[in-house]
Amino acid sequence: MDYIKQRLFEKGSLMRAQLQDLLKESRDLIVDEVTIGNVLGGMRGVTSLLTVTSKLDQYEGIRYRGFSLPELYKVLPRYNTEGEPLAEGVFYLLLTGEVPTMEEVEYMRKDWVQRSEVPEHVFRAIDALPKTSKPMTRFSTGILAAATQSQFQKQHRVGLRKEDYWDSTYEDVMNMIAQLPVIASYIYRKEFCDGEVIALDPNLDWSANFAHMMGFNSEEEFKLFRMYMFIHADHEGGNVSAHTAHLVGSALSNPFYSYAAGMIGLAGPLHGYANQEVIRWIKSMYKHYNRTFEEGLSEEEIHDFVEKTLDDGNVIPGYGHAVLRATDPRFITQKDFADKYVQNDPLIHTVNILYKVVPAVLQERGKAKNPWPNVDAFSGSLLLHYGIKDYIFYTVMFGVSRALGVGAQLIWDRFLSLPIERPNSQTLDWFTEYANSE
Ligand code: FCX
C-alpha cells in the first residue's frame, strides 16, 4: 500500500469506529427540524449531510479541515513565501485532514504526473461533439468517456467487499484529478487557440501545468492558476455540484460518473456559470452605454445599470449567496492578488466600483439575504486580465479545481460506507392537507 493510502487507512479506521459509535449511541438524536418553508425553499440551511473535507461559515467563509483561507496561506506548502498554496497540498489536507510537508506535496505531485495520461478515446469523444457544444458539455463528456478506466466499477462487478470500496475509489479519484487539466486544456487549445496541444511538463506542479498546457508560462500566471485552484477547491457538501457528485456516488456510480454529474450541476447560471455571467453582464453594461473598457464608466452610470438590471427582473451575477452573509473571502483573496500584481486594469477597476455600488442597492431593495459579492464577482476580471478572453471557458477551470474537494469527499463517502441517499418526497396536496390539519 502506498504512503498516502496508508495514512488514509489509519485515519479512516478511526473515523469508521467514530461513526459506528455515533450510530449506536445517538441514532435517534434530532439535529434539525424541517419546515414547509425549508422543503419549498431548496432545503436551505437544513443540516442533513455529512461532509468531512470542509465547512462553510456564513461570515468567515470556507474552512478546509478547519483552516480559513488566510490560515491556509500560512500553513500550506508554497514554493516561496510570496507564492500561492499548491493544489497537491490542498488535496492532501482535504483528504487526510493533515497539513502536508513539502516532501508529501512533492510525492503527490509526482504521483499525479505519473497518472496524467488520458486515454486517446477521451479526446475523440470530445472531438465528436458538434461545434456548437459548450466547453462544459465537452468537459463533462470527456470525464464520462474517461470512466472506461474506472477500477472501482471493474472491481465492484467482481464482488468487491464494501469495506474495500474506498481503495479503488481512491485510485479513480487520483487518476481523474491527474487527468482533468489535460482534458480541460485540450478543450481550451482546440476551441479557443490554434488547436495545437501542449504536452504536460513533468517538472511542474498540477496548477502550473494546467496554465502551461493552456499556453500560459510566466511565473505570475502560474501563481494566478495556483491561487484560482486553491480557492475554488471545496465549499462543503450542500452546493449543487458537490451534492450532486455525492448523491450520484451514493448509488455506487463510479467516481468519473459521479464527478461528471456534479459538473453538469456546476454548469447552471446560479452556480458555476455565474463567473461567465459576470463578464457577460459587465460587457452588456458597456454596450448599453456604448463605451469601451478603456473609456470607463462613472460610479453613477454603474449604479443606474445595476438598478436597471434589477428593474428588468434579473439578478446581479456574482452577488448573493445561499449560505454566506458577508463578502466571500475568496473574493478578497482575488482582490488582494489583483492589488499586488495588476496595475490599471479598467475591467478590474469596474469590478471594484461594483463592489462599492451593488451591496447598497441590494440592501435598499431588501430582497437578497446576502448583498455581498461571492467568488464569481472577481474571478473573470482576473482571468481576462491575464489573457483568458473566452469567458465561456471559466466554468471549466472552476470544475477542474472543484475535483480536489469533491474527489476527496467521494473517497470518504466510500470509506465510511455512506448509504444510498433517498429522502422522502410528498405531493403538493399532501403538504396542503398537512398544513390544514395542524
Ligand atoms: N441579485 C438580485 N436578486 C438577488 C440576488 C442578486 N445577486 N441574490 C438573491 N436575490 C434575490 C433572489 O433571486 C430571491 O428573489 P425571489 O424571492 O424573487 O426568488 C431573493 O433575493 C432571496 O434570495 P436569497 O435567499 O438571498 O438567495 P438564494 O439562496 O435563493 O440564492 C444565489 C443564492 C447565489 C442563487 C443568488 O444570490 C443569486 O442568484 N446570485 C446571483 C448568481 C450568482 O452569483 N451565483 C453564484 C453563487 C456561488 F458563488 C456559487 O454557488 O457558485
**Cα separation, 74 vs 244, whole angstroms:** 32
* Residue 11 CB burial class (10 angstroms; 0-12, 13-18, ≥19): middle
Residue 2: per-residue pLDDT: 86
Nearest atom (ligand 1) to Cα of 367: 21
Residues of the chain with CATH 1.10.580.10: 109-269+391-415
Q: Name the residue at shortest CA distance from atom 16 of ligand 1.
A: 367
- How many C-beta atoms surround the C-beta of residue 54 within 10 A? 22
**376 belongs to the catalytic site:** yes
Nearest atom (ligand 1) to Cα of 314: 2
Residue 333, C-alpha cell as written in the block: 483573496
- Match domain 274-385 to its CATH number in 1.10.230.10, 3.40.50.300, 3.90.1170.10, 3.40.50.2300: 1.10.230.10
Nearest atom (ligand 1) to Cα of 328: 49
**Is the CB of residue 183 less than 8 Å from the CB of residue 200?**
no
Location of C-alpha cell 462487478: 157
Q: Among residues 212, 235, 246, 271, which one is catalytic?
A: 271
* Residue 120 CB burial class (10 angstroms; 0-12, 13-18, ≥19): exposed
Phi and psi at 95, nearest 5°, equal: -75, -50
Tens-digit pLDDT string for the chain (438 aa) = 688 999 999 999 999 999 999 999 999 999 999 999 999 999 999 999 999 999 999 999 999 999 999 999 999 999 988 899 999 999 999 999 999 999 999 999 999 999 999 999 999 999 999 999 999 999 999 999 999 999 999 999 999 999 999 999 999 999 999 999 999 999 999 999 999 999 999 999 999 999 999 999 999 999 999 999 999 999 999 999 999 999 999 999 999 999 999 999 999 988 999 999 999 999 999 999 999 999 999 999 999 999 999 999 999 999 999 999 999 999 999 999 999 999 999 999 999 999 999 999 999 999 999 999 999 999 999 999 999 999 999 999 999 999 999 999 999 999 999 999 999 999 999 999 999 998
Residues 43-80: pLDDT tens digits? 999 999 999 999 999 999 999 999 999 999 999 999 98
**Is the CB of residue 229 less than 8 Å from the CB of residue 333?**
no
Taking alpha carbons only, the member of 117, 84, 95, 91 closest to residue 105 is 91
CA distances from 393 to 20, 54, 200 (A): 43, 26, 20
Residues 321-331: pLDDT tens digits? 999 999 999 99
Q: Name the residue at shortest CA distance from atom 47 of ligand 1.
A: 271
Rounded distance from Cα 45 to ligand 1 centre (Å): 15
**Cα separation, 10 vs 284, whole angstroms:** 54
Calculated CA dihedral for residues 409, 72, 334, 227, nearest 10 degrees: -70
The CATH homologous superfamily to which domain 109-269+391-415 belongs is Citrate Synthase, domain 1 (1.10.580.10)
Complex ipTM value: 0.98
**Cα separation, 283 vs 389, whole angstroms:** 12
Q: Name the residue at shortest CA distance from atom 45 of ligand 1.
A: 270
Q: Which residues line ligand 1 (CB under 6 A)?
A: 44, 239, 270-272, 274, 310, 315-322, 367-370, 374-376
Rounded distance from Cα 296 to ligand 1 centre (Å): 27
**Best mutation site among 369, 378, 398 for ligand 1, i.e. most ligand atoms within 8 A of its Cβ?**
369
Residues 1-14: pLDDT tens digits? 688 999 999 999 99
Rounded distance from Cα 124 to ligand 1 centre (Å): 38
**Best mutation site among 270, 325, 327, 363 for ligand 1, i.e. most ligand atoms within 8 A of its Cβ?**
270
Residues of the chain with CATH 1.10.230.10: 274-385
Q: Which residues contact 323 (CB under 8 A, 6 or more apart)?
A: 45, 56, 58, 238
Residue 82: per-residue pLDDT: 85
**Cα separation, 178 vs 87, whole angstroms:** 11
**Is the CB of residue 161 less than 8 Å from the CB of residue 396?**
no
Calculated CA dihedral for residues 279, 285, 289, 292, nearest 10 degrees: -10
Rounded distance from Cα 316 to ligand 1 centre (Å): 8
For the four alpha carbons of 40, 27, 170 and 104, in that order, the dihedral sign comes to positive
**Cα separation, 327 vs 58, whole angstroms:** 10
**2 belongs to the catalytic site:** no
**Is the CB of residue 393 less than 8 Å from the CB of residue 188?**
yes
Segment 43-47 long-range contacts (CB within 8 Å, at least 24 positions apart): 43/238, 44/322, 45/323
**321 belongs to the catalytic site:** yes
Q: Among residues 167, 172, 328, 376, which one is catalytic?
A: 376
Residue 131: per-residue pLDDT: 94
Q: Name the residue at shortest CA distance from atom 3 of ligand 1.
A: 315
